[in-house]
A and B are shown apart, each in its own frame.
Chain A
Amino acid sequence: SAVISQKPSRDICQRGTSLTIQCQVDSQVTMMFWYRQQPGQSLTLIATANQGSEATYESGFVIDKFPISRPNLTFSTLTVSNMSPEDSSIYLCSAKGTRFPLNYGYTFGSGTRLTVV
């Protein structure tokens, strides 16, 4: 069974709408992150999801566009708001914990492939 489950795996959305992506880890983790991989590009960190407080965003990413929640130590959501075609990417959740296998490197979910039309 997957250590990190990400939903949905893919979606096609209309511009101007919003999509919320869920990330569920099967054990408590210390760190959770959200990444974006644009077509043909590398992975870029959007933000660190902090449990019980506001996420820490990287340069170029803002909370109004990418609101993130992390209500507990196993779950986080990323919302892509007011979407445009430029938001078409793969969005990936990542986690690091203290127990194997989550303590062995950083584990990634399978990603959400988003297409905005």
Chain B
Amino acid sequence: DQQVKQNSPSLSVQEGRISILNCDYTNSMFDYFLWYKKYPAEGPTFLISISSIKDKNEDGRFTVFLNKSAKHLSLHIVPSQPGDSAVYFCAASEGAGNKLTFGGGTRVLVKP
């Protein structure tokens, strides 16, 4: 039973345009959500998080939106840069500081 799903395995976007990555979850107890970026041969790097008391969090080029009623979150990257090409994972937990459940990942390719 996949509690966190990323239905798009890959995404291709032109440099300078917006990248939108989506994530759905089924566990209503999840209240803390995170996005990670992963390059090959490296560990995941934390990008941005959001708690369930908010519906939006922004950090530079990265914005995460949370729709609790739909159990859906998205990550917007604006503008996309070639260095953003990586695999992006969304993750969720029941409270900050508890174990994370990861989605399957979305591979993003930003074309120059």
* A residues at B contact (CB < 8 Å): 4, 6, 30-31, 33, 41-45, 48, 58, 92, 94, 96, 104-111, 113
Assess the B102–A43 pair: CB atoms within 8 A: yes
Could you tell me which residues of chain B, from 66 to 112, have a CB within 8 Å of some CB in chain A? 89, 91, 97-105
> Contact partner of A96 among B41, B44, B45, B97, CB < 8 A?
B97
Assess the B89–A105 pair: CB atoms within 8 A: no
A-B contact pairs, 12 of them (CB 8 A): A42-B89, A42-B102, A43-B100, A45-B99, A58-B99, A92-B44, A96-B97, A104-B46, A105-B34, A106-B100, A111-B43, A113-B41
Assess the A45–B101 pair: CB atoms within 8 A: yes
Cβ of B19 < 8 Å from any Cβ of A?
A: no
Assess the A45–B89 pair: CB atoms within 8 A: no
* Cβ-Cβ contact count across A and B, 8 Å cutoff: 50
**Chain B residues within an 8 Å CB radius of A110:** 41-43
Docked Cα-Cα span, A6 to B43, in Å, equals: 10
Assess the A105–B99 pair: CB atoms within 8 A: no
**Chain B residues within an 8 Å CB radius of A105:** 34, 36, 46-47, 49
Chain B: minimal CB distance from A8 (Å):
13
> Contact partner of A41 among B42, B49, B99, B104, CB < 8 A?
B104
Assess the B42–A48 pair: CB atoms within 8 A: no
Docked Cα-Cα span, A7 to B62, in Å, equals: 32
**Chain A residues within an 8 Å CB radius of B91:** 43
**Chain A residues within an 8 Å CB radius of B105:** 42
15 new A-B contacts at CB < 8 Å, known A6-B43, A43-B102, A105-B36: A30-B97, A31-B98, A33-B100, A41-B104, A42-B104, A42-B105, A45-B100, A92-B43, A94-B100, A105-B34, A107-B46, A108-B45, A109-B43, A111-B43, A113-B41
